Amino acid sequence: MIRPDVRSRLPKATDRLPVGTTGLSVSPLCLGITSPGVVRAAFEAGVNFFFLTGDLHWPLYEGLRRGLADLFASVPASRDQVVVAVTSYLEEPMFRYLQFHEVIAAVPGLQRVDILVCGAVAGGASLGARLPGIQRARSAGHLGARAIGASFHDRATAVASLNSDLLDLHYIRYNTAHPGAEVDLFPLLKADRTSLLFNFKSMLSVVSAERFHQLGFGGDDWLPRPVDYYRFVISEPRIDGLLCSPATDQELSELIALLEQPPLSTQQREYMAWLSTLATPRYF
């Protein structure tokens, strides 16, 4: 897959992206923390990709677990129409196996984990130390996994992994107040990589209306909507998709409608990054 330097359009919720060479394909929207009813609405709108955690943030994903269980029960064929990624943050292989099995047991109808994800990979030898365990978990077969991925807190490690196609799926953090990837990640990626690149924490730096007015802006100035922060990220052509957390059907509808809009211009993205830096100058 050759990535363009400039997007001519944003991806649609019904688009499908190949997950490496595994045969899996996913929507550019990946639902994480959400409410049960949103899961069914997202599935009906074309979203087929869901993200669960096996440990650290377990309570936050109760809504998604219930929503998936309800979907599998009410639409029996849906299990083979969706892809479920599960992340574990623990490095001990024995505990990692247990984390994934606990998720399967907690979601009736889940049956398997499609993508195993190493959570919060730092720099240095972190990925090299953790990857063998996740590879063994996939090859063992009893989890049903077909792909492996990781979320990265170190961009240099992410670049090395992406360019080597070491994994099938990568998650990075990129937003208006955390734009360093524009310098030390995106320009360094090879155009024909096979692995996918998804973003998380897209809305971490949303500027509220109250803060906007505190800064002296008026009614003629552009206050980006919360959903525009997703648009900021997905306008970057080397980002393939978004990990997102719509809490209501309305938020989901706004997110899907967003993808019908054109990409943000360079000037618009620069303005949003400047605004977030102005609003939270000591954020990072």
Q: Could you tell me how many residues make up the chain?
A: 284
Task: Summarize pLDDT for 199-242 with one digit per residue, the tens.
Answer: 999 998 899 999 999 999 988 999 999 999 999 999 999 999 99
Q: What's residue 137's pLDDT?
A: 79
User: Given this model, what pLDDT does residue 111 score?
Assistant: 96
Confidence of residue 72 (pLDDT cuts 50, 70, 90): very high
Average of per-residue pLDDT values in the chain: 91
d(CA 284, CA 280) in angstroms, rounded, equals 9
pLDDT at 128: 77
Whether the predicted pLDDT of 284 surpasses 50:
no
Spans of all domains in the chain: 17-204+229-266
pLDDT computed for residue 283 by the predictor: 41
To the nearest 10 degrees (0 to 180), the angle between helices 126-140 and 155-164 is 50
Q: Which of 53, 55, 73 is nearest to 64 (CA)?
A: 53
CA-wise closest residue to 80 among 111, 124, 42, 119? 111
Phi/psi at 7 (5° precision): -80, 135
Q: What pLDDT is stored for residue 215 in this prediction? A: 94
For residues 221 and 246, what is the distance between their CA atoms, to the nearest angstrom? 26
Kindly report the backbone phi and psi dihedral angles of residue 52, in degrees, each rounded to the nearest multiple of 5, phi listed first: -120, 160
Residue 258 has pLDDT above 60, yes or no: yes
CA–CA distances in Å: residue 8 to residues 15, 228, 260, 261:
15, 17, 12, 11
Give CA separation, 102 vs 53, 61, 80, 83, 244, in Å.
10, 13, 20, 18, 23
Torsion angle of the four alpha carbons 250, 256, 257, 258, in this order, in degrees rounded to the nearest 10: 110
pLDDT for 89 beyond 70: yes
Q: Is the pLDDT at 2 greater than 70, yes or no?
A: no
Q: For a pLDDT cut of 90, what percent of the chain falls above it?
A: 75
What is the structure's pLDDT at 94? 56
Stretch 249-254: mean pLDDT, rounded? 96
> What are the tens digits of pLDDT across the range 186-199?
999 999 999 999 99
| pTM, rounded to two decimals | 0.94
Which pLDDT tens digit goes with each residue over 90-133?
A: 766 555 677 888 999 999 999 999 999 988 888 877 777 777 77
Note the pLDDT of residue 10.
Answer: 96
Give the pLDDT of residue 98: 79
Residues 17-204+229-266, CATH architecture: Alpha-Beta Barrel (3.20)
Could you tell me if 265 and 273 are in contact, meaning their C-beta atoms sit under 8 angstroms apart?
Answer: no
Q: Look at phi and psi of residue 109 and say left if phi exceeds 0, alpha if psi is from -120 to 50, else beta.
A: left
Residue 36 has pLDDT above 60, yes or no: yes
Task: Label the pairing between strands 241-244 and 196-200.
Answer: parallel
